Chain A
């Protein structure tokens, strides 16, 4: 799967948060998150998803194709590389 990645600007201490533009919606992407604690909230005006595993948090608007990913402060580089390797190895959906 091809993706774009950009560090998000925010005002928190020690934040390692990045945004990924995906070739599919967050709703379709969340189906791939096997083994993650995935939650959806469809009561929001724009329904959203979150997914957590091992200190990594993913969230996004279900209908959108940008997800925000926060990596744990300790070892974020390795976690980020692992996440991106996995993403790159995934086949893009329809």
Chain B
């Protein structure tokens, strides 16, 4: 293959359906909708996006989905806005991204919250038994876990982990950054209390889109305070959702793009080829001499590996510069997971529904070449 190959979809997906760029461009050329807020005949892209997201994540109350720039925003909103008092415990895992770890560190450092982490399995997955033991040991008020590791792709049993959190009286916050749009997510059916997501990965939307689902009855303290366009006489944020958590003008053009992506995906469901290709990639990389982290169960199309005797940094650079394969190497913003994986860092290739078989073969050949060098 002579062209560039993109295998960094777990960071930001590429390409997007053509309708996404067209929707963003159309929104930028059109009169902004926020100038006509609330009219029955006006098209509200945020409401329409909430409805499409609610269908996708199995939520019956779209207004419980607060929209913001990304899942980092949603996770911060959930972690920093959840009602905790000094001495309370929060349980999380070593598989988490820094968008969870850093807010939790702040809770520990500045609010005297007891933060505990459950170590993970060698494939990056959460062991439900270890999770349950830890939950009983620390009696947390909040449990935070990723639906799938962004390093290894391993998908965790969200319903089971959430139920275990509820068993000890804790709320469950799920980081679905790596899964929404890729594997089934059923927030209400799973009984999760909060679920953070992003638009620019497997939802195929633009950067600058994401949010947080908050179950009815759970009230968070807003992360940002400001204009809402409604109840402007109040000194505080309005109580009703989603306005309660959404201050300031929204990213309307990008949400037009996300809505276009969601509607496109509803009409064009993925055929599962990315998962099959990820398996082919794992097998091919192993044959090429790489040490591949193989998920023991369901996984996203994320493949993490190392080449013996070579640093992940050098391998990632050579793949990018020497072969035109865009992937990711390093800690992937999830530094706590690596002791469990038995390596200091890794190279990550993440596929999408648009990844082609010849691209996977080219990636395997490139790794073979690098390993042989």
Interface residue ranges, A against B (CB under 8 Å): 10-13, 15, 17, 41, 43-48, 50, 59-61, 64, 68, 70
Q: Which of B288-333 contact A (CB under 8 A)?
A: 312-314, 317-318, 321-324, 328-333
Determine the chain A residues whose CB is within 8 A of the CB of B313 once the complex forms.
Answer: 10, 12, 15, 17, 70
A-B contact pairs, 16 of them (CB 8 A): A10-B313, A11-B329, A11-B330, A11-B333, A12-B312, A12-B329, A13-B331, A13-B345, A15-B313, A17-B313, A45-B322, A46-B321, A47-B322, A48-B321, A59-B317, A68-B317
Q: How many B residues touch the partner, as a band?
A: 20 to 34
B322 and A11 within 8 A (CB): no
Query: Which chain A residue has the least Cβ–Cβ distance from B333?
Result: A11
Q: Within the complex, which residue of A12, A15, A17, A46 is in contact with B322, where a contact is CB–CB below 8 Å?
A: A46
Do A44 and B323 have beta carbons less than 8 Å apart? yes
Q: Which residues of B contact A50 (CB under 8 A)?
A: 314
Residues of B within 8 A of A47 (CB): 322
Asked, given contacts A43-B369, A43-B373, whether A12 binds B323 with beta carbons under 8 Å apart, the answer is no
How distant is the Cα of A68 from the Cα of B321 in the complex, in angstroms?
A: 11
Tell me the smallest distance from the CB of A5 to a CB of chain B, in Å. 17
Smallest beta-carbon distance A27→chain B, Å? 14
B321 near A60 with CB under 8 A, answer yes
B331 touches A12 (CB 8 A): yes
Task: List chain A residues, Cβ under 8 A from B328.
Answer: 11
Interface contacts (Cβ under 8 Å), in number, total 55
A46 touching B323 in the complex, CB below 8 Å, given contacts A12-B345, A15-B313, A59-B317: yes
Q: What A residues does B333 contact at CB under 8 A?
A: 11
| Smallest CB gap from B372: residue in A | A43
* A48→B369 CA distance, assembly (Å): 12
Give the A-binding residues of B (Cβ under 8 A).
Answer: 2, 312-314, 317-318, 321-324, 328-333, 335, 344-345, 366, 369, 373
Residue of A nearest to B314 (CB): A59
Whether the Cβ atoms of A41 and B373 lie closer than 8 Å is: yes
Task: Assess whether A44 is in contact with B318, with CB atoms less than 8 Å apart.
Answer: yes
Chain B residue nearest in CB terms to A61: B321
Asked if B322 and A61 make an inter-chain contact with CB atoms under 8 angstroms apart, the answer reads yes
Q: A11-B328, A12-B331, A41-B373 are in contact. List 10 more A-B contacts (CB 8 A).
A: A11-B332, A12-B312, A12-B329, A43-B373, A44-B318, A44-B369, A46-B324, A59-B314, A59-B321, A68-B317
Report the minimum CB–CB distance from A22 to chain B (whole Å). 15
Select from chain B the residue with minimum beta-carbon distance to A9: B330
Whether A12 contacts B321 by the Cβ 8 Å rule is no
State in angstroms the CA–CA spacing of A47 and B345 once bound together: 25
Q: Which residue of B lies closest to A59 (CB)?
A: B317
Closest A-B pairs by Cβ, 5 of them: A11-B330, A44-B322, A12-B330, A48-B322, A11-B331
Report the bound CA distance from A43 to B373 in whole Å.
9
Q: What's the least CB distance linking A48 to chain B, in Å?
A: 5
A11 to B98 Cα, complex, angstroms: 11
Q: Which partner residue on chain A sits nearest B345 by CB separation?
A: A12
